[in-house]
């Protein structure tokens, strides 16, 4: 027997497993004495209580329709007052979807509530399909299209949170029902059999909605600074820099153990490779920050690479980060990343600099954006750190990280910059307070990545790379064909790292370029948009179409992403 033969599945059914998680969590583990223990973890609803094991996929969503008068809310989860708009009450305070608008996108209603996470998303047993906006009757499926007129459109964005362990995720469709409805004379002239033609007539797009705003985002010019922690704890074992004893290969460089800075190099170079492959309109630069060498009384920060559109140059600057970090940390007083006088052996590390000056690094990056950024481009600063920052109030009076980030978002100096932060077991409260959009306040969790496991660093950079270019379209076709793909076999395999060159429709589910989703509850969004063209014919008059959408996950450990075997 193998893992994929020992699997239970739950069918898609209204009110029970919408977005329905199916059979959740398949894994095998050696039990010793020549035996193997297999376990399945199937989410089920008993007495309105959601029970799950070590793999838990939580889903929330917002669905909208546009009948010619602008988008209106149709259904959402959670929806604490049942008005169709995503909302939740936590400790007496109500958060609503529309409280988080995308100020730069006039077509955006907002974004999925960022406070929704593994602790706050209600169970699906509490989900409400709401009512059909046309008929006023209770909806029998998640998406229900009745009396659709040419020009009508709709959209639904799902927010996925995989809690506990990493896992592979598939998107699926079920309960697909299509009817020709009551045949009118104009329809019967062109469609005498009164077939259900609505799915074939509707145009649909399925994509990764990276900013979770229910709107497909095309490419925009972006200037990006990568602001990286070059402190000793990123490399040297005595300070926690060695992540595991497993070897790691990075673009031809092979190391016998894995350190945090290795994972940063792997992730940032994948970031650059993705932007190159996507033909993104970007400039990228790199800043670094450390502490101060004893007796130096100066923070070791600076620009590793100035902003440039030549991404091969940036890739070169990001190569060999072990040595470049070592030059800063353990080199002579005043040493730079290029001096070559540091010891890159992770098991060395005597006499290194102390402390971390995140604020100074942010200031350096902001200065580079101000000096060499393009007036027409959005500005982003991606800050990664694994330590507590000096707060700028000590004897040397250097910049506080929160103050530096506040200045960057507020365009002081110009330009106003989106600040994304990545915490690798460092000061989560500081890095969260720094994170937020240009012109906005800090503390925005949608701009903050909190990593318990440094091995997730490359995945974070992959997802941030996907946000720096047009959002990735999984499939664009008739709605009927999209639903057929979602309903076929295991459905469409989703990629947990969009910077890898994985094709969800043509590549196998166990392709090496398909990554599992991280298991720390980070939000990933997938969206489906539909529109009935204005030039559609009479054959769709009176037609109806309904369907449910769901997600299946299996634990990544001891599985290759191929998914459960299909039976005839």
Q: Would 34 be classed as within a structural domain?
A: no
Same domain (yes/no): 253, 276: yes
pLDDT given at position 367: 95
Cα gap 356→345, rounded to integer Å: 21
Is the residue at 458 inside a domain? yes
Cβ-Cβ contacts under 8 Å for 454 (sequence gap 6 or more): 243, 260, 263, 386, 424, 425
Residue 7: which pLDDT band, with cuts at 50, 70 and 90? Answer: very low
Q: What is the pLDDT of residues 99-156, one digit of tens each?
A: 655 556 555 556 778 778 888 888 877 887 888 877 788 888 888 888 888 889 999 9
pTM of the model as a whole: 0.68
CB 311 within 8 A of CB 272: yes
Summarize the confidence of residues 302-330 as an average pLDDT.
Answer: 95
In a domain, 5, yes or no: no
Query: Alpha helix locations (H) across 385-478?
Result: 401-409, 428-434, 457-466
**Helices 401-409 and 358-372, axial angle in degrees (round to 10):** 20
% pLDDT > 90, the chain: 39
Under the banding of pLDDT at 50, 70 and 90, the label for residue 565 is low
At 422-464, the pLDDT tens digits run: 999 888 899 999 999 998 889 888 899 998 889 889 989 988 9
Domain that holds residue 360: 222-466
524 and 376 part of one domain: no
Question: Whole-angstrom Cα distance, residue 189 to residue 75?
Answer: 36
Do 502 and 448 share a structural domain? no
**pLDDT score at 467:** 84
Q: Please say whether the beta carbons of 464 and 435 come within 8 A.
A: no
- Per-residue pLDDT reduced to its tens digit, 256-306: 999 999 999 999 999 999 899 888 999 999 999 988 765 666 778 999 999
- Distance (Å, rounded) from C-alpha 382 to C-alpha 334? 25
Assess contact for 189 and 466: CB atoms under 8 A. Answer: no
Q: How confident is the model at residue 252, as a pLDDT?
A: 85
- Give me the chain's average pLDDT, please: 80
> Do 449 and 504 belong together in one domain?
no
Classified as helix, coil or strand, 481 is helix
Provide the pLDDT for residue 300: 84
pLDDT digits (tens, 9 = 90+) for 366-390: 999 999 999 989 999 999 999 877 6
User: Does any domain span residue 347?
Assistant: yes
Q: Say whether both 459 and 476 belong to one domain.
A: no
Same domain, 198 and 227: no
Query: Of the residues 466, 485, 509, which one is the last residue of a structural domain?
Result: 466
pLDDT in tens, 77-89: 999 998 999 999 9
Whether residues 458 and 478 share a domain: the answer is: no
Same domain, 246 and 362: yes
- Is 160 part of any domain? yes
| 158/527 Cα distance (integer angstroms) | 6
How many domains in the chain?
Answer: 2
State residue 309 phi and psi, 5-degree precision.
Answer: -90, -5
Task: Confirm if 536 and 186 have CB atoms less than 8 A apart.
Answer: no
Residue 40's SS3 state is strand
Domain edge (last residue) among 466, 497, 525? 466
Distance between CA atoms of 165 and 553, rounded to whole angstroms? 11
Residue 521 CB partners (closer than 8 Å, separation 6+): 58, 117, 118, 161, 162, 163
Q: Which residue has the tokens 């010019």?
A: 221
Q: Which of 422, 450, 466 is the last residue of a domain?
A: 466
Residue 199 and residue 229 in one domain: no
Does 453 share its domain with 475?
no
Predicted confidence at residue 95, as pLDDT, reads 87
Residues 75 and 134 in one domain: yes
Check pLDDT > 70 for residue 352. Answer: no
For residue 389, what are its two tokens? 């920052």
Q: Could you please report the per-residue DSSP string of 511-533?
A: -TTPPPBPSS--EEEEEEEEE--
Nearest Cα to Cα of residue 381 among 436, 445, 433, 336: 436
Name the nearest CA neighbour of 8 among 53, 59, 47.
Answer: 53
């Amino acid at each position: 027997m193998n893992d994929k033969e020992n699997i239970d599945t739950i069918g898609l059914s209204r009110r029970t497993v919408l977005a329905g998680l199916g059979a959740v969590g398949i894994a095998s583990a050696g039990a010793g004495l020549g035996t193997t223990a297999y376990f399945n973890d199937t989410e089920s609803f008993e007495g309105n209580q959601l029970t799950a094991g070590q793999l838990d996929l939580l889903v929330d969503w917002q669905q909208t329709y546009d009948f010619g008068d602008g988008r209106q809310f149709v259904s959402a989860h959670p929806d604490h007052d049942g008005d169709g708009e995503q909302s939740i009450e936590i400790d007496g305070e109500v958060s609503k979807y529309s409280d988080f608008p995308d100020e730069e996108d006039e077509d955006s209603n907002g974004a999925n509530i960022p406070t929704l996470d593994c602790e706050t998303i209600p169970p699906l047993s509490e989900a409400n399909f709401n009512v059909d906006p046309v008929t006023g009757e209770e909806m029998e499926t998640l998406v229900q299209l009745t009396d659709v007129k040419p020009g009508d459109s709709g959209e639904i964005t799902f927010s996925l949170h995989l809690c506990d362990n990493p896992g592979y995720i598939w998107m699926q469709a079920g309960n697909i029902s299509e009817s020709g409805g009551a045949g009118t004379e104009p329809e019967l002239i062109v469609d005498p059999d009164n077939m259900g033609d609505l799915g074939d007539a509707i145009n649909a797009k399925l994509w990764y909605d990276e900013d979770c705003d229910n709107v497909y985002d095309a490419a925009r010019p972006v200037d990006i600074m990568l602001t990286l922690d070059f402190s000793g704890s990123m490399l040297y074992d005595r300070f926690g820099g060695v992540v595991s004893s497993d070897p790691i290969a990075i673009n031809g460089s092979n190391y016998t153990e894995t350190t945090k800075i290795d994972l940063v190099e792997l992730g940032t170079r994948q970031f650059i490779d993705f932007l190159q492959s996507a033909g993104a309109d970007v400039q990228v630069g790199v800043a670094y920050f450390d502490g101060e060498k004893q007796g130096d009384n100066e923070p070791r920060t600076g620009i590793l690479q100035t902003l440039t559109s030549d991404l091969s140059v940036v890739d070169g600057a990001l190569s060999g980060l072990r040595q470049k970090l070592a030059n800063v940390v353990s080199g002579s007083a005043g040493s730079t990343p290029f001096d070559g006088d540091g010891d890159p052996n992770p098991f060395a590390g005597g006499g290194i600099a102390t402390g971390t000056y995140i604020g100074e690094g942010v200031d350096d990056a902001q200065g580079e954006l101000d000096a060499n950024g393009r007036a027409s481009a959005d500005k982003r600063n991606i800050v990664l750190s694994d330590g507590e920052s000096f707060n700028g109030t000590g004897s040397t009076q250097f910049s506080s990280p929160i103050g530096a980030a506040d200045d960057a978002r507020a365009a002081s100096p110009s330009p106003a910059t989106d600040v994304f932060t990545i915490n690798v077991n460092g000061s989560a409260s500081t890095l969260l307070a720094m994170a937020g959009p240009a012109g906005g306040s800090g503390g925005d969790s949608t701009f903050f990545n909190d990593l318990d496991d440094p091995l997730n660093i490359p995945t974070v950079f992959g997802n941030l790379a996907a946000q720096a270019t047009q959002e990735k379209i999984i499939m664009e076709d008739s709605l009927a064909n999209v639903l057929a793909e979602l309903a076929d076999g295991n459905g469409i395999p989703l990629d947990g790292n969009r910077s890898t060159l994985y094709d969800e429709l043509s590549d196998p589910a166990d392709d090496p370029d398909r990554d599992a989703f991280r298991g720390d509850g980070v939000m990933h969004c997938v969206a489906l948009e539909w529109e009935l063209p204005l030039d559609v014919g009479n054959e769709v008059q009176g037609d109806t179409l309904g369907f449910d959408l769901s997600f299946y996950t299996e634990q990544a450990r001891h599985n290759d992403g191929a998914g459960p075997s299909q039976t005839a």
